Structure 1
Amino acid sequence: MDNVTPLGGEVYEIDTRMAGFSGITAGYLILGDRPCLVETGTSTSAPVVRDALTSLGVGPDDLATVVVTHIHLDHAGGVGDIAGFYPSAEVVVHQKGARHLADPTVLMASAKKVWGDRLDTLFGTLSPTEASRIRALDDSDSIDLGGGRTLSSHYSPGHAKHHVGLLDSATGDLYVGDAAGVYLPQTGDVRPATPPPDFDLRTALNSVSLFKDLGPQRLLFSHYGPVSDVSEILDRSAEELRVWVDLTRQAHAQGMDLDHAVAMVGEKTRQRYAAPAPEDAETVRQMEMISGVPFNVAGILHWLDRAEPSSG
């Protein structure tokens, strides 16, 4: 299939074709003794992911585990559907997110407030998963991939309080979710992902530092794809966090409202990133839609209002 890319070590990248576009959100299949899907993508992507797994020889009773780095709908919106397709699979998520997969009512209501009429088109509806099938991870935990191979989970909030990174003992691959930001393979840039309501600068920087200390061989971004320049990209991730926070803090101190802060930060940061080639421009625009300047600035302002209430 043209949306499946072998990455070595029995790992396959799956383009989930979020909202019909390519190169926005990736899931990953670890095809070992106990096949494991990392990230489901959205609900509307679930049939795409199922077809990809079928093409790799994974039938309805073969998938052992579905694990998500966090419960945002572009990563976990398809959990309920995938759980239905694969009745033997255990669903694994950090303990702070588990109840929302069992009962998505609050999560979907919150998403509706953010996305409005675009919710159905972009994400669809997260279906509930039977609580008995959900395994809640502690801050440090392990997932059995069979044959002595494990995915160790590492609590990495900052982007979201229910976020974990996942390290493959066999390959050294680290599934970073959104905690290291959004990687743009079209330009080689990495940009922050700082949405409300959970963003916290110190916690986010600590998560990036933790990822570096784990010594991964490769980073597998949900947005988007594999990166071998581990140290360079993680350093850039931390740098971008600091730059965006400093700029947003300036806007906050000047009493700017959200729209003016977004305009200022957007203008000031634009020069930090390479312009995509014409054939890549649409993909980059779509990525901007799910992790763009307005969401990043809104998340930082939300944090500043709590952390530095005397400003402005």
Structure 2
Amino acid sequence: MGGYDGITAGYLIRGERPALVETGAARSAGEVVRALAGLGVGPADLATIVVTHIHLDHAGGVGDLAAAFPNAEVVVHPAGARHLVDPSRLLASAARVFGPVLDELFGPLLPTDAGRVRALGDGDAVDLGGGRRLESFDSPGHARHHVGLLDSLTGDLYTGDAAGVWTPETEDLRPATPPPEFDLGTAIASLEKMRERRPTRLLFSHFGPVSDVGTTLDRSVEELRLWVELVREARADGLDVDHAVSRVRERTLERYAVRALPEVEAKLELLSSTEADVHGIWRYLDQQAALEND
């Protein structure tokens, strides 16, 4: 995405009913098709395409991949299903955020026929064949249309963005708190849902597998609380949101090893910018203040 490798992961689950978890952006769809072909998965073989949520770096390739794999059912949170059928509102919203770089970064999300889209509610599952299931649970906080997915055979848990952004080059973990739907309480509750399921690994969409589950989930909570507290302090000091962004950057300068690797940090900022994440927290704190004043 955006000229970078190793930025968004798609996962193939092999078995009687092969499934792809996450499509990446539309501009990556051709690469996904080629990679699946290299793994022996042809146009008639893929049974299911699952996305954790409908942000364009996760689901932007759905329309392209649905066309490339005509037998595949497309599975998504109930709140996201209509946007895959008619992506016009989703694309308009993304255009307001990304402006002229939208097409360069993501490409167009093509519509998918409604008959091929299935809503995956809390407690529902995807049949992987042979009694194996991909079990779904609501994991909002990053976005309300977000699900976590647990493989009943392996114990792998697909985190989407709910556990933050993992940088494998440096083993940094940063929160993903963009507007408009970030909520601290529901984000932490989602992490507790992950912990309760006792997964063997966390499979981050950004980027890759992590085996130290307990420590990583602890870090996810810690990072969320830290960033919210830093923005809260900036507001209390009378700073505006742009100065809050600067403060978060300054206060976390020594916290993340990725800061010493400019190219990797540039990739991370493209994917999950400090500015966007602080804006998401700022909006959340605005909402909390309004509730307190009611």
Into which bin does the TM-score normalised by the smaller protein fall? over 0.9
Single out whichever of 68-77 and 258-267 deviates more from structure 2: 258-267
Letter in 1 for 2:266: R
Report the structure, 1 or 2, having the larger strand content.
1
Deviation at 1:276, TM superposition (A): 5.9
What CA distance in whole angstroms lies between the structure 2 residues aligned with 1:221 and 1:283?
17
Letter in 2 for 1:302: R
Contact 1:186/1:276 (<8 A) preserved: no
Single out whichever of 196-205 and 288-297 deviates more from structure 2: 288-297
Corresponding position of 1:204: 187
Post-superposition CA distance 1:76-103 (Å, at most 9, x none): 0000000000111000000011011011
Corresponding position of 2:220: 237
Contact 1:23/1:283 (<8 A) preserved: no
What CA distance in whole angstroms lies between the structure 1 residues aligned with 2:82 and 2:194?
26
1:120-159 matches, cutoff 5 A: 120-159=103-142
Letter in 2 for 1:282: E
Deviation at 1:238, TM superposition (A): 0.2
- Secondary structure in 2 aligned to 1:165? strand
What CA distance in whole angstroms lies between the structure 1 residues aligned with 2:271 and 2:36?
25
Letter in 1 for 2:278: V
Contact 2:46/2:69 (<8 A) preserved: yes
What CA distance in whole angstroms lies between the structure 2 residues aligned with 1:170 and 1:153?
14
Query: Among 59, 64, 68, which residue is 1:81 paired with?
Result: 64
What CA distance in whole angstroms lies between the structure 1 residues aligned with 2:260 and 2:286?
38
Q: Percent of counterpart pairs with the same letter?
A: 61
Corresponding position of 1:255: 238
Deviation at 1:275, TM superposition (A): 3.9
1:27-176 matches, cutoff 5 A: 27-176=10-159
What CA distance in whole angstroms lies between the structure 1 residues aligned with 2:213 and 2:67?
36
Aligned residues: 292
Query: For the aligned residues, what is the CA RMSD?
Result: 1.2
Query: Among 286, 298, 304, which residue is 2:267 paired with?
Result: 286
Single out whichever of 301-310 and 139-148 deviates more from structure 2: 301-310
- Secondary structure in 2 aligned to 1:271? coil
Single out whichever of 266-275 and 217-226 deviates more from structure 2: 266-275
Deviation at 1:254, TM superposition (A): 2.7
Deviation at 1:20, TM superposition (A): 2.7
Corresponding position of 2:253: 270
Contact 1:24/1:283 (<8 A) preserved: no
- Secondary structure in 1 aligned to 2:163? coil
Post-superposition CA distance 1:140-163 (Å, at most 9, x none): 211000011110011000000000
1:220 and 2:203 matched:
yes
What CA distance in whole angstroms lies between the structure 2 residues aligned with 1:238 and 1:292?
19
Contact 2:258/2:265 (<8 A) preserved: no
Post-superposition CA distance 1:36-57 (Å, at most 9, x none): 0000000000000000011111
Deviation at 1:125, TM superposition (A): 0.7
Letter in 1 for 2:270: M
Letter in 1 for 2:36: L
Contact 1:21/1:283 (<8 A) preserved: no
What CA distance in whole angstroms lies between the structure 2 residues aligned with 1:273 and 1:159?
21
Deviation at 1:256, TM superposition (A): 1.9
Letter in 1 for 2:244: A
Gaps of 5+ in 1: 1-17
Gaps of 5+ in 2: none
What CA distance in whole angstroms lies between the structure 2 residues aligned with 1:238 and 1:68?
23
What CA distance in whole angstroms lies between the structure 2 residues aligned with 1:256 and 1:144?
51
Deviation at 1:257, TM superposition (A): 1.7
Post-superposition CA distance 1:244-266 (Å, at most 9, x none): 00010111223322211100111
What CA distance in whole angstroms lies between the structure 2 residues aligned with 1:176 and 1:120?
26
- Secondary structure in 2 aligned to 1:19? coil
Contact 2:134/2:150 (<8 A) preserved: yes
Corresponding position of 2:286: 305
1:187 and 2:157 matched:
no
